[in-house]
Structures are given as C-alpha cells and as structure tokens.
Structure 1
Amino acid sequence: MKFINVIGTTGSGKSTFARKLARQLELRPIEMDDLFWLDDWQEPTDGVFFEKLKNKMDRTTGGWVLDGNYTRTMSLKLVKIDTIVWLDYSFSRNFFHLMKRSLFNLISQRKLWENSNNRESLKLLFSKQSIFIWLIQQYPRNKAKYQMMMQDQKYQHIQFIRLTSPKQAAEFLQQIKVVQ
C-alpha cells in the first residue's frame, strides 16, 4: 500500500480517514476537494482539475493517500493506485455525519479547504445543489458502481479494502499502526 484512494459517499468521512491513514503509513494526504473547488464554489474545467491532480500525484513519488471519488479522474488515478479503501457505511450513518459536519461548518464559518474561500451557507444547504440532495442521489449509484469495480477484471490489479462501519475503519487503522 503506497498509492491509495479512499472512496465513499458524501458524509462517510473520507478526508478524516485518509489523513489518519496517511499519517499511519507516513504517506502524503491529497484532498481532492481542495484541488477541485475554486473560490466562491466555482468549478474548474476538467483540464485544469486534471493538471492540478496530476502535478500533485507526480510530485509525491514516495506515496500518497487520495481522498475523493471524482470518477472522471479514474483513468489518471489508475496509473498509480495500488489500493482502494471504500468506506461503505449505511445511508443513515452518512446522512447523520453529513448533518453534524454541515451544522458545525455553518456555525463556525471555517474555510472548508485551504485553497479556496468556500464556507458552508444556509442558502447552499437548501439549494438544488445541496450536499444532502447529492448524498440522496449518489448513495445508491456509488454503492452499485463500487461493487461493480470490485468485480471488474480491469481493476483486479488493485487491492480493494471495504470497510462497512466506523468501528471497522478504526480497527483497520489500528492494525496498520501495529504492522508498520
């Protein structure tokens, strides 16, 4: 495990888990949302996003832990990924975690990512682009997509680790700590 992608639906805790895993394995964490989002919730072109991601991955030759799905980047990530860790938690757990995180971010008004000025807002939370709508729409799609990936021959060179609860994720991190 040297080039890892942590995947899961919105609210699963990908970023937090990826940072902990990177720390345990002494690898560099790469937060894809930080590379993607521009100021004022603007989205970059695929070309700009891919360039940022490729540069970050190429400069981190000793290994990294990517957190994020961004399916459109799969061909770029597959060049190096040797392990995918899927945080496959229940919908209710993800929804609760997302609600708690969003409320904290709304009240604290902290910047969500280092490289943009984005903050949580009530307007955005209750808009058609709401992260909650995204979760409702993407949860079943992501689950089906990741299950298919695990069975697909073109991904058989990748080690898939499927963690189905925060307790299982914590135990996995503890095992990594012991092994390293």
Structure 2
Amino acid sequence: MEGQPLIGDGRGLYKIHILGNSGTTLATRLSLILGIPHISLDQLFWEPNWKIASEDEFRAKIRVAMEQSPNGWIIDGDYQRRGGVIVQEEATDVIWLNPPLILYFPRIITRTFLRLVGFLPPCSPGCPDTFREVFFSRNSILLWCLTQHGVNRQRGESRMREIGVGVGTQLDNRKMRRIGGWGGALERWIKSVKDMDQEK
C-alpha cells in the first residue's frame, strides 16, 4: 500500500488529516475528487468574535463531525494540544504540507488581505480579521507564520519519524506523507489521487 497516494482502510474508505500550509485549499480539492466532506478545525475551534471553544467542547465537536461523516472525511488543521490529536488517531492518512516559507508566506499575505477587504470569508464564521489584529498585534497570523515555521517543521519531522510511510518507527501505523518543494510534488500527488479514484 506504500506505493499508493492514499492508504485508506483497505475497503475504499478514506479519513484524511491534512497538516501544514494551504491545507484548506488541498482539502477542498480532495473533497471534490473523492466525494467526501471537508471539515475545518478552524471552524470547530473558533466561535464568533474569536471566542475559543473549551478543550472539552472542541473534542466533542470533532467527534460529532467525524461521526456525521461515516463514509470518510478530510480534516485540515492541527490543534494537537487542544484536541486535534483525535483526528490523527482516527485518520487512515496524514498529509503534511511542508513547502518553503518563501513560497507560502506571500500566499498568506494575499489571503489575509483578501479577508480584510471582504473578498474571502474569515477562517471561521463571525471571526473577521482586522487591520489592528493583522499588523499591530502579537496574535497576528503573519507574525505567527514567521515565528512558528521552524517549530512546526520540527513537529512535523518528529511525527514523520514515528508514523511516516516507509520510515516510521510505529510499523503498524505508518500513514503520514510529507509533501514539500515548490508545488510540483503536490500537483503530481493530486494527479495520482485522481488516477487512483478513477480506477475504483
């Protein structure tokens, strides 16, 4: 199964956890290809006016969302310390998007600007970005991306050592793939998913 783009449960059911930058974009594309719902952890975690769901509430929302999608799901987002680990445990496949900072940071800037001017919806309903939060706050998404890039990469590499396809120490739980580079590897992988789905 390591030669396939997705592992699944062996019966054609896929529960996919996407980590890293542009995860929502990939999740949306995969949802259309595979015909299974896309669930955003951002929308489960953030309540209107940027209120944070409690850990128990967040975990409960995640479980309900997964239970409501018995034929498979695609969930993007991390939130490991808040309860996102549930998704990784239940997933048949974990996809880690790990492009260079210089590639994805301009995309973050563009997306944030489009949200500020109302051309894109906020990450969660009722949670609009503001110029003050984006440019003059310690909670700025732009600042977070710059300061957490290395941290997130180390976390991803650590997970790969445990559950990476072909390399993980957990031999019965190798289900994580790293997709890096400048975009070509991702497009080739998506094409292989399309080909796999058409062969079903």
TM-score (norm 2): 0.82
Which deviates the most, 41-50 or 68-77?
A: 68-77
Q: Find the counterpart in structure 1 of residue 176 from structure 2.
A: 160
CA distance in 1, matches of 2:147, 2:75: 23
Question: After superposition, where does 1:4-15 map in structure 2 within 5 Å?
Answer: 4-8=16-20, 12-15=21-24
CA distance in 2, matches of 1:92, 1:135: 11
1:94 maps to a residue whose letter is Y
Q: Find the counterpart in structure 1 of residue 193 from structure 2.
A: 176
Q: Find the counterpart in structure 1 of residue 108 from structure 2.
A: 98
Structure 1 position 74, deviation (Å): 4.2
TM-score (norm 1): 0.90
Structure 1 position 167, deviation (Å): 2.4
2:109 maps to a residue whose letter is M
Structure 1 position 78, deviation (Å): 3.6
Which deviates the most, 36-45 or 157-166?
A: 157-166
CA distance in 2, matches of 1:96, 1:79: 32
Structure 1 position 136, deviation (Å): 1.6
CA distance in 2, matches of 1:138, 1:95: 12
Q: Which runs of 5+ in 1 are unaligned?
A: none
Please state whether the residue corresponding to 1:84 is helix, strand or coil: strand
Does the CA contact (< 8 Å) of 1:150 and 1:156 recur in 2?
no
- Higher helix share goes to which structure? 1
Question: After superposition, where does 1:96-135 map in structure 2 within 5 Å?
Answer: 96-108=106-118, 110-113=120-123, 116-126=125-135, 127-135=137-145
Larger radius of gyration: 2
1:141 maps to a residue whose letter is V
Please state whether the residue corresponding to 2:75 is helix, strand or coil: strand
Please state whether the residue corresponding to 2:178 is helix, strand or coil: strand
Structure 1 position 156, deviation (Å): 5.3
Q: Which runs of 5+ in 2 are unaligned?
A: 1-7, 9-13, 163-168
Does the CA contact (< 8 Å) of 2:75 and 2:87 recur in 1?
no
Q: 2:79 aligns with which of 70, 73, 80?
A: 70
